[in-house]
Amino acid sequence: MENDKTVTDSQLNGTARIATKEMTLNMGPQHPATHGVLRLVLDLDGETITKCTPYVGYLHRGVEKLAENRNYLQILPLTDRLDYISSMSNNLGYCYAVENLFGIKVPERTEYIRTIVGEMSRIANHLLWLATHALDIGAMTVFLYCFREREMILDLFERLCGARLTVTYPRIGGLKNDVDEQWLKDLKVFIDDFPGKVKQYETLINKNRIWLRRTKGIGVISAEEAINWGMSGPVLRGSGVPYDVRKVMSYGVYDKVDWKICTGKNGDVYDRYRVRMDEFHQSVSIIKQCIDQIPEGPIMADAPKFTLPSKDKVLTDMEHLIHHFVLITKGPQTAPEGELYFATEVPKGELGFYFVSDGSGKPYRMRVRSPSFVHVSALPKLCEGELVADIIANIGSIDIVLGECDR
């Protein structure tokens, strides 16, 4: 697909005719820097991208169709597989949306624990983002340091619920199990340590000339354009829009702790990097306050129609055993009729669930509004007119996961 084009380059010396070739370059779907199975077709004029066409759908598993055929309890594990880098946040987003639909109020202790694990998931996600983003641009050492800390968070997740990556820890109306004192103490140790680790990463790249040249002024998107494209999360905040779902539609205990929205100014790759680095500190601060404030109490809401009874009751009490059995085999039989959109701030942006309920135990329609889908759609806007090498920096900076994009 090459078309020869001969142009008179009179700007050069007035007489010479230079033959230039427009080239079409296929990138992906198997490419280490596309963070999954993203395929891009790039039209190049020399090294400049004239047109970028993303192709997605290679990881389409039909989660929305599957959800229409499963009951509300069975959908929860599907949400892990959307954004598998920060599955905890996806679970939480789903649970909050369903609880709002059902009208369940979650106990306060649960809200605190959910906020803690949600922020841990944000740290883990941003660590993996920083690791791979830096690796793509050529800073290899950062990768190894970031994985050192990410591992610690995954270990804590494993101790909490037995799984490291696809956790399925929250439940509709509560949590799988409570946290113990020792776990909170160990988390505190990690959290106290972590800001020093962030400083370490920053000493590696913050003043690195190559890093600055590769990120500053690259992939610029203005605030108006970012809003118009429907961007969210650190990408939108990098352009200077103080929009964070945690503040706007407060859920969890984000209104009870003290934290601020991190924003950038220029909307380039570097500012998006800065926003995420600042969010590390905000997350640390949120977790610290939560550990100090966390109250005692139950972890499951009192809504027997939808929530499972606790395991020790199931093993000792006949009624609870039957209750458990019925909910697991048949699922919830009814749900309030109506439609509801509920969004949460996951590490990548605004994850929204739109439910249409017809009153049965299965959602009539479940729509997943995933941030990655929107961000990939805006990729041509970010990289057209820039050099082919910058597309790597751009893909890294919007922090996409194709499992969530294709659903």
Partner 1 sequence: MEPLEIIEKLKEKFATEIMDVSEFRGQVSVSVRPAKIMDMCRYLHDDPDLYMDYLADLCGVDYPDRKYRFEVVYNLFSIKHRHRLLIKALILEKDPNVDSVVPIWAGANWHEREACDMYGIVFNGHPDLRRILMPDDWVGYPLRKDYPLKGPEGAEYKEFEELKVLHSHDKEWNIQS
Q: Note the residues at the interface with partner 1 (CB under 8 A).
A: 56-57, 60, 62, 64-66, 69, 100-101, 103, 225, 227-231, 241, 243, 248, 338-341, 343, 350, 352, 354, 356, 364-365, 367, 369, 373-374, 376-378, 381, 406-407
Of 83 and 136, which has the nearer Cβ to partner 1?
83
Q: Look up residue 387 and give its two tokens.
A: 């050099």
Integer CA distances (angstroms), 40 to 11, 27, 34, 240, 405, in order? 33, 5, 9, 28, 14
Task: Give the closest residue to 235 by CA, choosing from 261, 202, 198, 273.
Answer: 273
Of 132 and 232, which has the nearer Cβ to partner 1?
232
Give the C-alpha separation, 92 to 407, whole Å. Answer: 17
Of 137 and 238, which has the nearer Cβ to partner 1?
238
Minimal distance in Å, beta carbon 36 to partner 1? Answer: 14
C-alpha 207 chain-centroid distance: 27
Q: Which helix (H) or strand (E) holds 48?
A: strand 48-55
Minimal distance in Å, beta carbon 253 to partner 1? Answer: 20
Minimal distance in Å, beta carbon 366 to partner 1? Answer: 10
Of 305 and 381, which has the nearer Cβ to partner 1?
381
Of 303 and 340, which has the nearer Cβ to partner 1?
340
Crossing angle of helices 269-293 and 108-137, rounded to 10° = 150
Of 76 and 378, which has the nearer Cβ to partner 1?
378
Crossing angle of helices 181-205 and 269-293, rounded to 10° = 160
The 8 Å CB, 24+ separation contacts for 131-134 are 132/35, 132/396, 133/273, 133/393, 133/396, 133/397, 133/399, 134/205, 134/211
- 35 DSSP 8-state letter: T
Minimal distance in Å, beta carbon 242 to partner 1? Answer: 9
Give the C-alpha separation, 148 to 126, whole Å. Answer: 13
Of 243 and 280, which has the nearer Cβ to partner 1?
243
Minimal distance in Å, beta carbon 53 to partner 1? Answer: 9
Of 17 and 65, which has the nearer Cβ to partner 1?
65
Minimal distance in Å, beta carbon 157 to partner 1? Answer: 30
Minimal distance in Å, beta carbon 139 to partner 1? Answer: 31
* Cβ atoms of 291 and 187 closer than 8 Å: yes
Residues 6+ apart with CB under 8 A from 52: 40, 41, 42, 43, 379, 380, 383, 384, 391
Minimal distance in Å, beta carbon 362 to partner 1? Answer: 12
